[in-house]
Amino acid sequence: MLLVMPSTGKIGIIITGDPIAAIASTRGDYGQIIANTVGNAWDGDYVSWDARGDLPVPCPTVAGIIITGSSANVPDRKPWMLKTETWLRAQVGEGIPTLGICFGHQILAQALGGEVQANPRGRAMSTVDVTVTSNGPLFEGLDSSFRANACHIDSVIRLPPGANTLAHSGHDDHHAIQFAPRCYGVQFHPEFDGDIMRAFVTARSEPLIAEGHDPARLYEQASDTPQSASVLRHFVQRVVTAS
């Protein structure tokens, strides 16, 4: 059983995109969904900044950083992405505990010297099996293979110098990465439950059909993923709080 230690500072959530309307209207933005998933694993406050307009900002009281997912694509190299990458390099260099989710995972990889491109295996959508290949604070106590929800087109195809792959799937070679001693990324969405995943499958049904996928099968495949959700709480308890 993990003890929740008294927290200092705030967790900064870097917003890089928005949930689909059906989810935003009932569950809030990604910051709210992440905070709800973390639950009582964090007894401190949160602060959110939108990478598309707010960064760079000073963050002297931030205990940790979580970077959200997005429908944007890192390979597009838009100005706000380049600015965010510069800002993230500084935070990681300062040793601030950092976790990137999906797009956040990818932009960390690109910022730190890796490469992100469209996955040649195509789009990942719905619940997948993730296999842990290197244990650590995020995965301690979890099964060696667990279910996670995925929703992405791009993937990390080349690791930054010094980074290590922690988990993979049949679709992604780098489903989880440790970039630095207190900096991690996960390609899956630990904050997605089955309802959120099914809503995304429904919203993306047209491109899924165009790409040769069966949305009905993917909808049925989507499920809650409690072990995946615990990865987010482990980051807060074992990386942020332990720093």
Work out the number of other CB atoms within 10 angstroms of the CB of residue 43.
11
Which letter, b or e, does each residue of 174-193 get, where b requires 16 or more Cβ atoms within 10 Å of its Cβ? bbbbbbbebbbbbbbbbbbb
And the tokens for 199? 């809503």
Cβ 105 vs Cβ 185: under 8 Å: yes
What separation in angstroms does the CA of 106 have from each of 92, 186, 207, 237? 15, 9, 22, 23
3-state secondary structure of 130: strand
191 catalytic per annotation = yes
Question: Which of 151, 191, 213, 234 does the annotation list as catalytic?
Answer: 191
Question: Which of 102, 105, 151, 152 does the annotation list as catalytic?
Answer: 102
Q: Which residues pair with 140 in a beta bridge?
A: none
140 catalytic per annotation = no
- Kind and range of the H or E run holding 165: strand 164-168
Question: Which of 174, 175, 189, 234 does the annotation list as catalytic?
Answer: 189
189 catalytic per annotation = yes
Give the catalytic positions in this structure.
102, 189, 191
